[in-house]
Structure 1
């Protein structure tokens, strides 16, 4: 029997820039405040502004003898999506980040990109109605500008009852 997500814990975040002349991570970390409050923050410094063309490829993976694909592998044109949100899975992903980020407008992006203090309790509140099996998961994302991969952000979580 599947249960709705009731407890989610960030376990790791890994950020990697492929072209430091284009962008680099000023910071990318998880912080544990106490046993029940953990958040993640990241800041990407963009060196070639403005950016008018952004795509994101993201996949949900489940840990089963290594991380294996689980449900979603989606590529979305971020500029078009922010103008006209049309993918329900991406809507949930954007809703998770929007309140904690400055990536809440359409292209062009003419500033550094920040996700600040995105906490696991907030993520659970958005996912609480979804039946996701317990286990270890990863969200792998690759960020493209002008169809060139610029960075990877991989987030690891544990879902429990």
Structure 2
């Protein structure tokens, strides 16, 4: 049976006076339904300047860059999503599951709830097909040009 399986999730706050993860976890409901959730508490709001570096890595003797590594101004991107097609592809993974769906300023905690393996499988097969293998999706979050957090999700795509 074709599938995507989440292997691990790592959320790291690099400046705990600025933001910290209240929770960041994978949950397996049964053999076919798995999801991850996270919540970032923001301590210095409003936040008006955000950049994101996102990269996709494939495991080949360690994780190596695979197709995409993009840095963008998140505030500008959220005002005009069509300006960055690669970022839009990845944004569409979590848009419906998150409160990160508006432009700056951010004056509230950031929440992503129950993003499932089904969403990953659909986007990695039907929207833009990727080869089978082990992957890591990584995001660096910068506020005011300072790296504040790192998010990594490891998963396997088969079929």
TM surpasses 0.5: yes
Q: What is the aligned partner in structure 1 of residue 22 from structure 2?
A: 26
Matched, 1:57 2:53: yes
Matched, 1:48 2:25: no
- Counterpart of 1:135 (choices 118, 125, 133) is 133
Q: What runs of 5+ residues in structure 1 fail to find an aligned partner? A: 1-5
Shift of 1:88: 1.2
Moved more, 119-128 or 108-117: 119-128
Q: What is the aligned partner in structure 2 of residue 157 from structure 1?
A: 155
How many aligned positions are there?
Answer: 156
Q: Deviations over 1:29-50 (max 9, x none)?
A: 0000001100000000000000
- Counterpart of 1:88 (choices 81, 85, 92) is 85
Shift of 1:144: 0.2
- Counterpart of 1:110 (choices 96, 107, 112) is 107
> 1: distance between equivalents of 2:91 and 2:68?
15
Secondary structure (helix, strand or coil) at the match of 1:128 reads helix
Shift of 1:159: 0.5
> 2: distance between equivalents of 1:75 and 1:142?
9
> 1: distance between equivalents of 2:138 and 2:96?
21
Structure (1 or 2) with the greater helix fraction: 2
Q: What runs of 5+ residues in structure 2 fail to find an aligned partner? A: none
> 2: distance between equivalents of 1:50 and 1:9?
36
Question: Is residue 6–residue 154 contact of structure 2 (8 Å, CA) maintained in 1?
Answer: yes
Secondary structure (helix, strand or coil) at the match of 2:71 reads strand
> 1: distance between equivalents of 2:93 and 2:76?
19
> 1: distance between equivalents of 2:124 and 2:7?
17
Q: TM-score, normalised by structure 2?
A: 0.95
